[in-house]
């Protein structure tokens, strides 16, 4: 099906047409294109349906941008009405060809079986992306107030800490045609800088982002976030799942963009710290973390990571408590792991994404931890362990005592046993 992997550099382009299909005029069609992409940038690649007349002249083209680069298969849906003179259409794929953005792009080459087309009722809404040229990137259009409101309401922040299942949730379990994933824009790091200056020395009144002047800068920062978001996703109709696991100053972020949704994804801090410590092992997936060769070095990192998780959890909990109850959802990793189907149904209902139970079951099965090849999971791997409580077996008694002494209060607040 999709075994051959193609790598296209940003200096190259790729154009491939697949099967030609006879179609009827004035008929509503829905095309499903199954594609797996590993790296690239939104707007640099798209699947395409070109509608032709009886003489093979192009009447119209409809496209869907490739937006998922998790290495997992994704279905891209194009729904449209065929023009009166339609006779056939050609399905294709375009990379770095007359696009907004050119990028290094890696994908599995699809075949004819990767595309399906069905006739649908005229009552089904059209669904496709508008292809735009390079000049339109340079002159980003301004969103009006209604568009800003719609975009903000479609924003979904997945907040918490790293190693809490955020990759699983944001890029896999919520891998749906009505959603688009934005992986770690790191905006909370900027808010942390802003907030830290609120509490350090100097004249706070003169500080550019002074809390006394919030009414002047918060509305403009909101506009900046929405402007940058639209530049990234180029859609006002899909849910935008923002994976932001290092969520320091989450409270200030959510105060700035209050009509967006918040998913607080929390995992037992002891398992998180244990996972961070594991990343220091030799040959770990995280090459930036140096090995901890002594007990003293391990204890120092355990203390550092425990305090870090404590601070992150505190920030997100404040954001969660202050946020509109209708726009917030707290999900414990342990509950999600234990009963993925039930919890995922809850998340989809919270997001107002129309997905049947059968569809959600397929998503759960596709992205279960058990389906990950054994060569890609275990100690030292990115997919390390999905079993809650592994910290009990991996840390010494002294290390457990140190960790519990720091994490006791926030763990109890999050209703974990200490």
List the pLDDT tens digit at each of the 418 positions of the chain: 445 788 888 778 888 888 788 999 999 999 999 899 988 877 788 998 999 988 888 888 898 888 888 888 888 999 999 999 999 999 989 898 765 567 888 898 888 788 899 999 988 888 888 775 433 333 356 788 999 999 999 999 999 998 888 888 988 899 888 888 888 899 998 999 888 887 665 557 788 888 888 899 999 999 999 999 988 887 888 899 999 988 999 999 999 999 999 999 999 999 999 988 887 876 655 556 677 778 898 899 999 999 999 999 999 999 999 999 999 999 999 999 999 999 999 999 999 999 999 999 988 988 876 655 554 444 544 445 556 778 888 889 999 999 999 999 999 999 998 8
Tell which residue, 256, 242, 260, 262, has the closest CA to residue 194. 256
The confidence score (pLDDT) of residue 152 equals: 98
Q: Which residues contact 283 (CB under 8 A, 6 or more apart)?
A: 380
Domain with CATH 2.60.120.260 in the chain: 5-137
Which H or E run contains 335? helix 333-338
In angstroms, rounded to a whole number, what is the distance separating the alpha carbons of residues 246 and 324?
A: 22
CA distances from 103 to 43, 163, 177 (A): 9, 28, 23
Contact (Cβ atoms closer than 8 angstroms) between residue 158 and residue 265: yes
Place of tokens 């972020």: 253
Contact 58, 52 (CB under 8 A): yes
Quote the pLDDT of residue 137. 38
Question: What Å distances lie between residue 355 and 27, 126, 241, 256, 347, CA to CA?
Answer: 25, 18, 16, 30, 11
pLDDT at 289 (0 to 100): 66
pLDDT score at 288 = 62
Q: Which residues contact 284 (CB under 8 A, 6 or more apart)?
A: 278, 380
Tokens of 336: 């999600």
In terms of DSSP bridges, do strands 155-160 and 115-119 run parallel, antiparallel, or are they unpaired? unpaired
Place domain 145-413 in its CATH homologous superfamily.
P-loop containing nucleotide triphosphate hydrolases (3.40.50.300)
CATH 3.40.50.300 in the chain: give the residue spans. 145-413
Direct distance between the N- and C-terminal alpha carbons of the chain, in angstroms, rounded to an integer = 49
Whole-number Cα distances in Å, 74 to 29, 64, 152, 297, 338:
19, 12, 25, 43, 25
For residues 404 and 390, the answer to whether their CB atoms sit within 8 Å is no
* Residue whose token pair is 């140190």: 402
Joined together, the tokens standing for residue 47 give 């699947």
**Is the C-alpha dihedral spanning 320, 321, 326, 330 positive or negative?**
positive
Rounded to whole angstroms, the Cα distance separating 386 from 373 reads 14
pTM of the entire structure?
Answer: 0.67
Q: What is the pLDDT of residue 178?
A: 87
pLDDT on residue 139? 39
Using an 8 Å Cβ cutoff, are 87 and 124 in contact?
A: no
- Would you state the structure tokens that stand for residue 41, as one six-digit string? 């940038």
Contact assessment for residue 136 and residue 241, using Cβ atoms and an 8 Å cutoff: no
H helix count then E strand count, the chain: 13, 15
Q: Do 312 and 162 contact (CB within 8 A), yes or no?
A: no
Q: From the options 1.10.3720.10, 3.40.640.10, 3.20.20.80, 2.60.120.260, give the CATH code of 5-137.
A: 2.60.120.260
Q: Are 37 and 68 a contacting pair, CB within 8 Å? A: yes
DSSP string, 84-97: TT--EEEEEEEESS
DSSP E strands: which ranges in 320-385?
328-332
What six digits make up the tokens of 171? 């890029």
């Amino acid at each position: 099906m999709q075994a051959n992997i193609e790598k296209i550099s940003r200096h190259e382009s790729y154009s491939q047409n697949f099967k030609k299909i006879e179609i009827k005029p004035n008929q509503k069609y829905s095309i499903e294109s199954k594609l797996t992409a590993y790296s690239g940038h939104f707007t640099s690649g798209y699947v395409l349906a070109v509608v032709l007349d009886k003489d093979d002249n192009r009447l119209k083209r409809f496209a869907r941008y490739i937006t998922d680069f998790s290495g997992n298969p994704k279905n891209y849906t194009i729904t449209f009405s065929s023009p009166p003179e339609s006779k056939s259409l050609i399905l294709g794929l375009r990379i770095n060809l007359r696009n907004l953005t050119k990028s290094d792009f890696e994908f599995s080459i699809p075949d004819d079986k990767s595309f399906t087309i069905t006739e649908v009722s005229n009552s089904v809404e059209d669904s496709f992306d508008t292809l735009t040229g390079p000049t339109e990137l340079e002159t980003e259009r301004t969103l009006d107030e209604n568009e800003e409101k719609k975009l903000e309401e479609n924003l979904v922040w997945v907040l918490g800490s790293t190693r809490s299942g955020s990759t699983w949730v944001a890029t896999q379990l919520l891998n749906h045609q009505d959603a688009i994933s934005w992986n770690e824009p790191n905006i909370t790091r900027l808010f942390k800088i802003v907030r830290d200056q609120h509490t350090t020395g100097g004249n706070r009144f003169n500080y550019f982002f002074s809390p006394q002047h919030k009414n002047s800068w918060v509305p403009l920062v909101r506009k900046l976030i929405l402007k940058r978001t639209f530049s990234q996703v180029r859609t006002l109709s899909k849910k935008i799942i923002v994976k932001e696991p290092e969520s320091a100053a989450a409270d200030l972020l959510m105060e700035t963009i209050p009509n967006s949704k918040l998913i607080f994804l929390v995992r037992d801090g002891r398992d998180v710290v244990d996972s961070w410590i594991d990343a220091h092992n030799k040959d770990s997936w995280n090459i930036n973390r140096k090995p901890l060769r002594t007990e003293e070095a391990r204890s120092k990192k355990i203390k550092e990571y425990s305090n870090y998780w404590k601070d992150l959890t505190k920030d997100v909990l404040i954001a969660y408590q202050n946020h509109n109850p209708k726009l917030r959802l707290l999900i414990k990793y342990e509950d999600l792991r234990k009963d993925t189907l039930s919890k995922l149904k809850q998340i989809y209902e919270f997001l107002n994404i129309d997905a049947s139970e059968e569809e959600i079951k397929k998503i759960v099965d596709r992205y279960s931890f058990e389906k990950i090849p054994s060569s890609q999971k275990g100690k030292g791997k990115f997919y390390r362990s999905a079993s809650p409580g592994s910290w009990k077996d991996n840390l010494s008694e002294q290390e457990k005592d140190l960790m519990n002494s720091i994490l006791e209060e926030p763990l109890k607040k999050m209703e974990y046993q200490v």
